[in-house]
Amino acid sequence: MSKSNVQVDGVSKKFGLSLKSALKYGLIDSMRRMTGREMDHRLRAGEFWALQDVTFSLEPGDALGIMGVNGSGKTTLLRILNGTYSPDGGRVTLRGRVGALIAAGAGFSPMLSGRENIYISGTLLGMTPAEIKRKFDEIVAFSELGEFIDMPVRNYSSGMGVRLGFAIAVIGSPEVLLVDEVLAVGDLAFQKKCFERILALKAQGTTILLVSHAIGAIWAVCNKGLFLSKGQPLLVGDVEEVCKAYEDQNSRNACIAIENEPQAAQTSESEGKESLPAEYGHARGGSGDVQCLSIRILSAACDAEVTDVAFAEPFVLEYRYVVHRKIENPIFRSSFDAVHYKFIVSIDSHEQGYDWESIEPGEYVMRVTLKSQTLRPGMYSINTSVVSRGIGVHLFYWLGAASFVVRHPSDRFLYSNESAVVFFPAQMDLSKR
């Protein structure tokens, strides 16, 4: 069995929540250390765990994609692995030379030429002068700077500077490579070259740790994934499973964020007796003839209330209405909003072939069963309204009335486009002419 290149055992790191607490505990810790006393490894008032009890192991050739929302501890973990931060608990063992693409462009002096900066940055990244000299031409070729290599770096475009920094960092052949959101540099051809270089290193046995918000980049490079949330490792394992879990959690977070919005929080606790604004521009409003009190999302299989459904899983929307005045030719309508787009789906009772001549005052429950939905994984919010055919205004409207999450399927990874909202099952044939 090959030895692990990266072994992370129960690593934790805590920070102060404010500059004041950082100063206070910094001085206390300094005094403790200088007087030979043990450090306080407990969480003290005004501190938080930026990283807590993270454990994983990577063999040569493994690539780990580290995912999590901002503040989840990704960069802290990478900085601990890079030796920038010392862990407050646990242990990190790195076997072999460590290269860090987070250091791309480190130490560049704008007054000096690209050539001179190659020597400076190369040295700062741990190369010896002889090694830099040997790899100089390769670095210049990779950066595609050509004749501009003797021009001062301050006259470079931002893309040229980043390309040079990346080239210096990536040309070394480390056993462990730390990468932080830097694969989106330069034009598409350069990005392709960067990916190819990283994959070539991986094939040679380099262990790669990649932090990125771009699931596509992680899926392209990594075979393992680590999902961090508030410093906690929620999932470590196969990259597709972790990507799915990360995206599903993102969808749930979006759902919670919408539910916490003040407008959306206007519930119908008073069972429809409160007066609604009789104008547009609110989350809810209407003429007062009818009101939707609640929307529940139920599993079609067991009729239990759920907050998320699996991809392609049928589900039921259950609406409770109270009708105050008789409504002629009522039409019940709902639409879905995705994260990036509004009104991606419209479900209209008349379009669906359901028409009622009128409905009398009273309470009603409407169940809408979506049997063959193909919404892609993500968060969706529901808007609902009641109109009357022949009356050109809403009798009732409610934006953001409820929200739900569509989870990733277990049998496939829908990774291609985070903005896409609908999946079309398609038959595909490829033939050579």
Partner 1 sequence: MRYIDEDGIPVTIYQPNERRGGLLWGLRQASEDIAASRHVIVRLFWRDFIAQFRQKILGYLWALLGPLLGIVSFLFLFFVGVLRPGEGEIPYVVYVLIGSTVWGCLPGAVGAVSSGLQGQADLILRTRIPKLALAISSLAGVSYSILISMITMTVVLLVVGVAPTWWLLAYPLLVLPIVLLGTAFGLVLSVLGTIARDLTPLFTQALALVMYVTPVIYLDSTIQNPVVKSIIAWNPVSYLVDVPRSLICLGRADNVVTYLWVSLGAVVLVTVGLRVFYLLEDLVAERL
Residues that bind partner 1 (CB under 8 A): 15, 22-23, 26-27, 29-30, 33-34, 38-39, 41, 79-98, 100, 102-103, 106-107, 109, 111-112, 116, 119-120, 123-126, 128-129, 152, 175
The DSSP code for 146 is G
In the block, residue with structure tokens 């400076």? 120
- Residue 14 in tokens: 């805590």
Nearer to partner 1, 181 or 318 (CB): 181
**Residue placing its CB nearer to partner 1 in the complex, 131 or 144:** 131
User: CB 39: neighbour CB atoms within 10 A?
Assistant: 11
Which one, of 378, 261, 250, lies nearest residue 309 by Cα?
378
Nearest in space to 192 (alpha carbons), one of 227, 142, 241, 252: 142
Of 92 and 298, which has the nearer Cβ to partner 1? 92
Q: How far is the CB of 16 from partner 1 (least distance, A)?
A: 9
What's the closest the beta carbon of residue 186 comes to partner 1, in angstroms? 19
Contacts of 40 (CB under 8 A, 6+ apart): 28, 29, 32
Residue 262 CB burial class (10 angstroms; 0-12, 13-18, ≥19): exposed
- In this complex, which beta carbon is closest to partner 1, that of residue 119 or of residue 364? 119
Toward partner 1, which CB reaches closer, 29 or 261? 29
Distances (CA, A) of 96 to 157, 201, 207, 209: 35, 14, 10, 14
Distance set, CA 111 to CA 120, 136, 151, 169 (Å): 13, 20, 9, 20
Q: Least distance in Å: CB of 115 to partner 1?
A: 12
SS3 167: helix
Q: How far is the CB of 123 from partner 1 (least distance, A)?
A: 4
Taking a C-beta distance cutoff of 8 angstroms, is the pair 6, 58 a contact?
Answer: yes
Q: In 3D, which of 260, 288, 294, 273 has the Cα closest to residue 382?
A: 294
- Least Cβ distance, residue 152 to partner 1 (angstroms): 8
When the beta carbons of 180 and 240 are compared against partner 1, the nearer one is 180
Q: Do 204 and 174 contact (CB within 8 A), yes or no?
A: no
User: Closer to partner 1 at the Cβ: 61 or 126?
Assistant: 126
Q: How far is the CB of 287 from partner 1 (least distance, A)?
A: 59
Smallest distance from partner 1 to CB 178, Å: 10
* Closest distance of CB 109 from partner 1, Å: 5
Quote the CA–CA distance of 418 and 381 in Å, as a whole number: 16
Residue whose CB is less far from partner 1, 81 or 164: 81
